[in-house]
Amino acid sequence: MFIVCSNCDFKYLVNSADLKPNGKMVECANCGYQWYQDLDKEETYSSVPSSKNNDLEDVIKNNQNIKKEKNTIKNLPSTIVNQEEPSIRNSLIVIILIFAIFLGIWFSRSYGINTFVLLEFYIREFFFNLNLIISDLAKIIHKTLN
């Protein structure tokens, strides 16, 4: 289950069994902020209670004070989730390569070179040579065994 520190927005992947049965106090490994993490579905993505009643918030704060001493998970012994940002450099390289491929095909067609016929020739030549090598190896093995 994912939880997020509301103080520094650090994200953690926590085993939900660590928070059972009624939730526990957790402490952010990054900033040291402590909060009560409940096991409800509304609480799995945020450390801030999503209640609409102020009475429920008061109950949660009281539960925090009671359970703080005995149920605190120190430094959240789980995986810190770092979101990868898209790389602009890699995106530009891909765009340049696609542009270069299209430009190469366009130049080859404009100068009368059919690229696909040339590629087909090289592929057939490769398989022809591969077939010759395999047949020669088969002959050598046959001669050594007989």
Q: In what order do the strands lie in the sheet with 72-73?
A: 34-37, 24-27, 72-73
Predicted pLDDT at 127:
96
**118: nearest Cα among 108, 110, 131, 130:** 108
Per-residue pLDDT tens over the stretch 92-107: 999 999 999 999 888 8
Q: How confident is the model at residue 24 (pLDDT cuts 50, 70, 90)?
A: confident
Q: Is the pLDDT of residue 81 over 90?
A: no
